[in-house]
């Protein structure tokens, strides 16, 4: 019997590069949809049973107003909140900290809510249909009791399909084994296309080049529910050792990368040829609106997603 599956949408980020406004709630679809409605539409079509929004308490009322009732009618919906002060027992938040603790901490907000294999995505990224279909099929059939190594998945996108026309981007550059599993994921910064060559900075601000065909992580992951317990233990270790309590971030790709390095996780890379787009920068909005218009004209989506 296939596992039930959940989609977790990270929508608590500050969106510092985007400027004013809440980028997760920008209307970009042909009938005023926000990006995550397309993700939910693709996820439901792929077979996901549940959607969990990670947001901030101050955004909750806006979320409730903007998410169509038809989504609640089609799939189970839950909300959890990422909060600075929500830390494991024995730890307290520094009084002067304003920055969120990162994507790993965001996922920890689901502890106690998620009981099934789950996918993770960003709210402000458009991923395309292929990734949701492959991820759902993996999660529906994954052995939830497998522990050593744990069995996870990541949708890998082609770097050239994930660049922004309006500025440089950060991506997790991936190395993949011959059997299709992740061997490393390296956060890479300030990436841009320099006439067919990928220019970027590594974690030490050294200039590097990347093939534009490099598989990259766009924070589209698949996990078994036991990952949340592992994440909590690793977050405690992070809090105990962090060098800068005001700015240190507990990042999901780094956690997964460490687990791969330690041999305690096996991450299957599910390749997608779909083109990513999102609202990293305010100038991206016009391009995103145009892209959804073109997808509707091609029949990929209806004019109004949830009728």
- Give dist(CA 291, CA 279) in Å, integer: 12
DSSP state of 57: G
**pLDDT value of position 6:** 98
Query: Tens of pLDDT along 183-241?
Result: 998 889 999 999 999 999 998 999 999 999 999 999 999 999 999 999 999 999 999 99
DSSP state of 181: B
Residue 163 pLDDT exceeds 70: yes
Residue 29 belongs to some domain of the structure: yes
Residue 13: pLDDT band by 50, 70, 90 thresholds?
low
67 contacts: CB under 8 Å, gap ≥ 6: 37, 53, 77
Residue 182 belongs to some domain of the structure: no
The whole domain housing 131 covers 6-151+217-250+274-297
Instruction: Kindly state the average pLDDT of the residues 95-109.
Output: 92
**pLDDT value of position 23:** 62
Residue 178 belongs to some domain of the structure: no
Residue 20 belongs to some domain of the structure: yes
Count the Cβ atoms, other than its own, within 10 Å of residue 83. 15
Residue 172 belongs to some domain of the structure: no
- Give dist(CA 170, CA 188) in Å, integer: 6
Instruction: Kindly state the average pLDDT of the residues 20-45.
Output: 85
Residue 298 pLDDT exceeds 80: yes
Residue 20 pLDDT exceeds 50: no
**pLDDT value of position 52:** 97
Residue 1: pLDDT band by 50, 70, 90 thresholds?
confident
Q: Which CATH number characterizes residue 50's domain?
A: 3.90.550.10
**pLDDT value of position 21:** 53
**pLDDT value of position 100:** 87
Residue 184 belongs to some domain of the structure: no
Residue 98 belongs to some domain of the structure: yes
Count the Cβ atoms, other than its own, within 10 Å of residue 269. 20
Query: Tens of pLDDT along 256-289?
Result: 999 999 999 999 999 999 999 887 777 888 889 9
Kindly provide the b/e burial profile for residues 180-211, where b requires at least 16 CB atoms within 10 angstroms of the residue's own CB: ebbeebbebeebebeeeebebeeeeeeeeebe
Residue 304 belongs to some domain of the structure: no
How many domains does one find in the chain? Answer: 1
The label of the residue with tokens 């405690």 reads 236
């Amino acid at each position: 019997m296939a596992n039930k599956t959940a989609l977790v949408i990270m929508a608590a980020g500050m969106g510092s590069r985007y400027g004013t406004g809440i980028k997760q709630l920008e209307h970009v679809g042909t009938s005023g949809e926000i990006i995550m409605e397309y993700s939910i539409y693709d996820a439901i079509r792929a077979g996901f049973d549940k959607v969990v929004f990670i947001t901030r308490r101050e955004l909750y009322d806006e979320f409730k107003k903007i998410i169509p009732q038809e989504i609640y009618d089609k799939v189970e919906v839950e909300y959890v909140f990422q909060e600075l002060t929500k830390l494991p027992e024995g730890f307290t938040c520094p009084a002067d900290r304003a920055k969120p603790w990162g994507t790993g901490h965001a996922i920890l907000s689901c502890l106690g809510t998620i009981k099934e294999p789950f996918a993770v995505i960003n709210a402000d990224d458009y991923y395309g249909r292929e990734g949701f279909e492959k991820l759902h099929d993996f999660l529906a059939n994954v052995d939830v009791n497998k522990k050593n190594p744990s069995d996870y998945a990541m949708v890998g996108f082609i770097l050239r399909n994930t660049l922004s026309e309006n500025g440089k981007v950060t991506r997790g550059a991936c190395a993949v084994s011959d059997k299709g599993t992740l061997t490393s994921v390296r956060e890479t910064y300030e990436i841009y296309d320099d006439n067919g060559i990928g220019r970027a900075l590594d974690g030490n601000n050294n200039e590097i080049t990347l093939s534009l065909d490099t598989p990259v992580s766009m924070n589209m992951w698949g996990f078994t529910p036991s990952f949340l317990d592992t994440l909590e233990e690793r977050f405690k270790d992070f809090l105990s050792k962090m060098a800068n309590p005001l700015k240190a971030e507990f990042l999901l790709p780094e956690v997964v990368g460490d687990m791969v390095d330690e041999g305690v996780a096996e991450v299957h890379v599910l390749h997608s040829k779909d083109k990513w787009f999102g609202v990293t920068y305010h100038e991206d909005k016009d391009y995103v609106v145009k892209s959804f218009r073109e997808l509707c004209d091609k029949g990929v989506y209806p004019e109004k997603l949830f009728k």
